[in-house]
Amino acid sequence: IRPEHVSIFQEASQAPSTCINIFPAKFENAIFLGPSIRYLVRLANNQSLSISRTAMNGGIDYHTDQPIYIGWDAHSTVVLQA
């Protein structure tokens, strides 16, 4: 999954019906990189995940350790052979 295909939601119920992959997480940090913003989140299994957004879409006003949900549409998933 590419970082720009992952969405952040305050509640799982906010995800669109096409978003079938939804996981609880905690917001860790936002890094402003000029035209983009990188959000770092931590999943329930303690793995970190990076989510990218263009700064033009506006930032997300979350605080450290805030419970959130992340998800992505099925068509954004690509399975690679090992």
Query: Distances in Å between the alpha carbon of 75 and those of 6, 53, 72?
Result: 12, 18, 8
**Model pLDDT, residue 50:** 93
The whole-model pTM stands at 0.83
**Model pLDDT, residue 33:** 87
pLDDT tens track of the chain, all 82 residues? Answer: 888 889 999 999 999 888 889 999 999 999 988 888 899 999 999 999 999 988 776 666 788 999 999 999 988 888 888 8
